[in-house]
Amino acid sequence: MATTKGQGGDKDVISRLADRGEEALSKLAELPGGTRAVKALNDTRDRVEELSKRMRGVDELEKRVARLEKELAALRRAQTSTAATTRSRKASG
């Protein structure tokens, strides 16, 4: 990870960027109409978090569908082999 020189008291790049971002947001809130802009940014963040939760749910559903498709294919193979055995018994009997 990229860090500034030294140990202990120095902040890494991500922490510094986060601090600068917080400063920028506080300055933005002080501007006319800035509180609405900050609220819109927070609302957007909340929506992105909600969408990411939903996407995790979609991933789980995709895994479940894949498992069910495999089970269905196995059942179809078993049904096909049973039907073929029944036909061969009728033909020889």
Element (H, E) at 68: helix 34-92
Which residues have a Cβ under 8 Å from the Cβ of 41 and sit 6 or more positions away? 25
Tokens representing 68 are 């069910």
Tokens coding 1: 């990870």
> Cα–Cα distance between 1 and 85 in angstroms, integer?
64
Q: Which of 60, 80, 53, 56 is nearest to 68 (CA)?
A: 60
Report, as ranges of residue numbers, the positions in the chain whose pLDDT lies below 70. 1-11, 84, 86-93
The confidence score (pLDDT) of residue 47 equals 94
**Could you tell me the pTM of the whole model?**
0.41
User: What is the reported pLDDT for 71?
Assistant: 96
Looking at residue 55, its pLDDT comes to: 87
Torsion angle, alpha carbons of 9, 12, 16, 22, to 10: -100
Mean pLDDT of the chain: 81
Q: How far apart are CA 66 and CA 74, in angstroms?
A: 12
